[in-house]
């Protein structure tokens, strides 16, 4: 859809939301079921698009994009009705005769801007949460992954309601036009620099945002680890998608002897996985485009290459590379790498590693490799980041019960599972009262003229206290609840000097 259509796109989405169709939970479930069917019926086409964009190996495309999406949408289908129910809250003396409740209110029309590195998954996981929450969605896939973007533009209108869920394609100018519109929520995945521009545009309309950004996610390794397992897990996390993953290990912190052991293992593992000629391996992707290739190639200068280092511009190929004797001022340490280059910096202790990490922007993830519970706890307590994974890399992303998101420069907000639903849901606070005479009698002290006695009684009512729990009531006769309610009302009335009025009201 062309840039000039953004006004019409927004108008169409506004009309669709105003019609109320997305508020119907059964409609949401049907749309989610259609989305699942889209994944199942078009798996081969989706994997082919990912190969065209990134030379993504089929196992990675299937496991880290399509199967993740299927699992996510199944969660939404299974839980959408329950999550959408009003949430009852505990009552107090003040509200014991009222109904305090939280409604799960959709924001309205939301914008989801996807990223190119996982161009299907990162465009559509937020969409399922937005659908489950009852929103209309405008989806902007990344133009840097053109095959995936084009396929989504073709598929989504075939499976989802075309008024409520629209795809807009195009480059930066299209995004600029979209951001001029007044959305009710914006969900962006991409770089920190672009995220700042999205936030700035959202601020003009006070539009809430989720920003899934990135940063330099550090890995600390100490001498206590099983080095073979640690090396496998670190290098796997680095080489999946050729390092073009927001939570990929960015650099390693360890002492010199640990560094030497780690390098030896990495060298063995790379040959085991990819052979003597890794460029011919079917299990390694390519850099997404020339601009990113040139950016990564520039990072190889200034540091000593311990493993790899070969490049091929015609093939957008950068060999899996390990750098040593790296200084904080080297080019590779100035920005998120987002490629198959792993710098190793020397530190003497976990304390030094924590100091190094804390001196920099907050990371999306910190990886800790250590058998020491004390060391693990030190990182957990003394650093701030979006998430932590101990003795592995990237696996925290697969646990949808954990919120996924950054903090500070690595992002705002979180999603996955129930957190996706909550991201696109406004928690509307509601207090429903009646014209009950007893309730009015208890609350009339708020009205002028004010007196010390009225203030005393109001303080008594407002004081935070634990009321008796009636959780067993569904399993006993309702008569017991009636008796308990009368006793409680008489107690309150006696405390406030309303005993005679209570008798009159209750006959």
Rounded to an integer, what distance in angstroms lies between the CA atom of residue 224 and that of residue 137?
Answer: 49
The pLDDT value given to residue 295: 97
> What six digits make up the tokens of 502?
């209570």
Give mean pLDDT, residues 428-441. Answer: 90
Give mean pLDDT, residues 211-223. Answer: 97
Q: Is the pTM for the entire model greater than 0.95?
A: no
Rounded to an integer, what distance in angstroms lies between the CA atom of residue 31 and that of residue 260?
Answer: 53
- Pick the catalytic residue: 65, 212, 319, 336? 212
pLDDT band at 2 (very low <50, low <70, confident <90, very high): very low
The pLDDT value given to residue 484: 66
425 forms bridges with which residues in the sheet? 106
Task: Count other Cβ atoms within 10 Å, centred on residue 423.
Answer: 23
Lowest mean pLDDT among 22-26, 141-145, 241-245, 437-441: 437-441
The answer to whether residue 3 scores a pLDDT higher than 50 is: no
The pLDDT value given to residue 504: 57
Architecture of domain 6-213+416-427: 3-Layer(aba) Sandwich (3.40)
The pLDDT value given to residue 1: 47
The pLDDT value given to residue 160: 98
The answer to whether residue 359 scores a pLDDT higher than 90 is: yes
Give the pLDDT confidence of 29-57 residue by residue, as tens digits: 999 999 999 999 999 999 999 999 999 99
Rounded to an integer, what distance in angstroms lies between the CA atom of residue 241 and that of residue 433?
Answer: 56
CA distances from 142 to 38, 53, 115, 136, 469 (A): 19, 11, 5, 20, 53
Burial of 181 (0-12, 13-18, 19+ CB in 10 A): buried
Contact in structure between 106 and 425 (CB atoms under 8 Å): yes
Q: Where are the domains of the chain?
A: 6-213+416-427, 218-401, 434-462, 466-497
Give the pLDDT confidence of 368-425 residue by residue, as tens digits: 999 999 999 999 999 999 999 999 999 999 999 999 999 999 999 999 999 999 999 9
Give mean pLDDT, residues 468-476. Answer: 53
Q: In which order are the strands placed within the sheet that holds 363-369?
A: 304-307, 321-324, 341-346, 251-254, 218-221, 363-369, 385-390
What is the CATH superfamily name and number for domain 218-401? Aldehyde Dehydrogenase; Chain A, domain 2 (3.40.309.10)
Provide the mean pLDDT of the chain: 93
Give the pLDDT confidence of 105-154 residue by residue, as tens digits: 999 999 999 999 999 999 999 999 999 999 999 999 999 999 999 999 99
The answer to whether residue 499 scores a pLDDT higher than 50 is: yes
Rounded to an integer, what distance in angstroms lies between the CA atom of residue 38 and that of residue 124?
Answer: 12
- Pick the catalytic residue: 80, 246, 385, 389? 246
The answer to whether residue 272 scores a pLDDT higher than 90 is: yes
186 forms bridges with which residues in the sheet? 111, 209
DSSP secondary structure letters along 272-338: HHH-S-GGG-TT----SSHHHHHHHHHHTTTSEEEE---EEGGGTEE--EEEES--TTSGGGSS---
The alpha carbon dihedral of 219, 221, 226, 228 has a sign of positive
Rounded to an integer, what distance in angstroms lies between the CA atom of residue 95 and that of residue 464?
Answer: 12
The answer to whether residue 336 scores a pLDDT higher than 50 is: yes
Rg over alpha carbons for the chain, rounded to the nearest Å, is 28
| SS (HEC) of 214-274 | CCCCEEEECCCCCHHHHHHHHHHHHHHHHHCCCCCCCEEEECHHHHHHHHHHHHHHHHHHH
The pLDDT value given to residue 481: 62
Residues of the chain above pLDDT 90, percent: 85
Give the residue among 115, 141, 26, 130 at the shortest CA–CA distance from 73.
Answer: 130
The answer to whether residue 473 scores a pLDDT higher than 60 is: no
Task: Count other Cβ atoms within 10 Å, centred on residue 64.
Answer: 22
Residues of the chain above pLDDT 70, percent: 91
Catalytic residue status for 136: no
The pLDDT value given to residue 152: 98
> What six digits make up the tokens of 309?
């280092």
Lowest mean pLDDT among 92-106, 125-139, 244-258, 468-482: 468-482
Determine the Cα angle at 33 with ends 32 and 34, to 5°. Answer: 90
For residues 97 and 240, the model is more confident at 240
Rounded to an integer, what distance in angstroms lies between the CA atom of residue 287 and that of residue 274?
Answer: 17
Catalytic residue status for 163: no
The pLDDT value given to residue 480: 62
The pLDDT value given to residue 313: 97
């Amino acid at each position: 859809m062309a840039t000039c259509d953004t006004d019409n796109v927004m108008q169409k989405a506004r009309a669709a939301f105003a019609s109320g169709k997305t508020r119907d939970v059964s409609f949401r479930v049907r749309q989610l079921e259609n989305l699942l069917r889209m994944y199942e019926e078009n798996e081969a086409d989706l994997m082919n698009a990912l190969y065209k964009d990134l030379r993504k190996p089929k196992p990675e495309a299937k496991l880290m994009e399509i199967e993740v999406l299927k699992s996510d949408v199944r969660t939404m289908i299974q839980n959408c009705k329950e999550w959408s129910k009003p949430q009852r809250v505990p009552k107090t003396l003040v509200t014991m005769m009222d109904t305090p409740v939280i409604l799960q209110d959709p924001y309205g029309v939301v914008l989801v801007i996807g990223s190119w590195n996982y161009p299907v998954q990162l465009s559509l996981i937020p969409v399922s949460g937005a659908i489950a929450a009852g929103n209309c969605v405008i989806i902007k896939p990344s133009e840097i992954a053109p095959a995936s973007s084009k396929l989504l533009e073709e598929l989504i209108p075939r499976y989802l309601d075309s008024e409520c869920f629209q795809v807009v394609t195009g480059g930066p100018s299209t995004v600029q036009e979209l951001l001029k519109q007044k959305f009710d929520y914006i969900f962006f995945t991409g770089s920190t620099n672009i995220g700042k521009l999205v936030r700035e545009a959202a601020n003009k309309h006070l539009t809430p945002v989720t920003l899934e950004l990135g940063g330099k996610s550090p890995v600390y390794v100490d001498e206590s680890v099983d080095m073979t397992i640690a090396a496998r897990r670190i290098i796997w996390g680095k080489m999946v998608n050729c390092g073009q993953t927001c939570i990929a290990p960015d650099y390693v912190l360890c002492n010199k002897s640990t560094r030497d052991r780690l390098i030896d293992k990495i060298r063995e593992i790379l040959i085991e996985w990819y052979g003597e000629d890794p460029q011919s391996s079917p299990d390694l992707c390519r850099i997404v485009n020339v601009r990113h290739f040139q950016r990564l190639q520039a990072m190889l200068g200034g540091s000593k290459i311990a493993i790899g280092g070969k490049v091929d511009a015609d093939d957008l190929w950068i060999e899996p590379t390990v750098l040593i004797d790296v200084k904080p001022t080297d080019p590779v340490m100035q920005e998120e790498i987002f490629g198959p280059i792993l710098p190793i910096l020397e530190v003497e202790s976990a304390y030094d590693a924590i100091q190094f990490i804390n001196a920099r922007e907050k990371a999306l993830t910190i990886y800790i490799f250590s058998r020491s519970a004390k060391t693990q706890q030190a990182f957990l307590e003394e650093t701030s980041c979006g998430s932590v994974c101990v003795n592995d890399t990237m696996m925290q992303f697969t646990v949808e019960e954990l919120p996924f998101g950054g903090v500070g420069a690595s992002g705002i907000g979180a999603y996955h599972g129930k957190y996706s639903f909550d991201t696109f849901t406004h928690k509307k606070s509601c207090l429903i009262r009646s014209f009950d005479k007893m309730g009015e009698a208890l609350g009339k002290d708020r009205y002028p003229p004010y007196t010390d006695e009225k203030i005393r009684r109001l303080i008594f009512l407002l004081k935070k206290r634990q009321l008796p729990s009636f959780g067993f009531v569904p399993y006993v006769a309702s008569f017991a609840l009636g008796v308990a309610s009368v006793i409680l009302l008489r107690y309150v009335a006696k405390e406030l000097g309303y005993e005679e009025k209570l008798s009159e009201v209750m006959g």
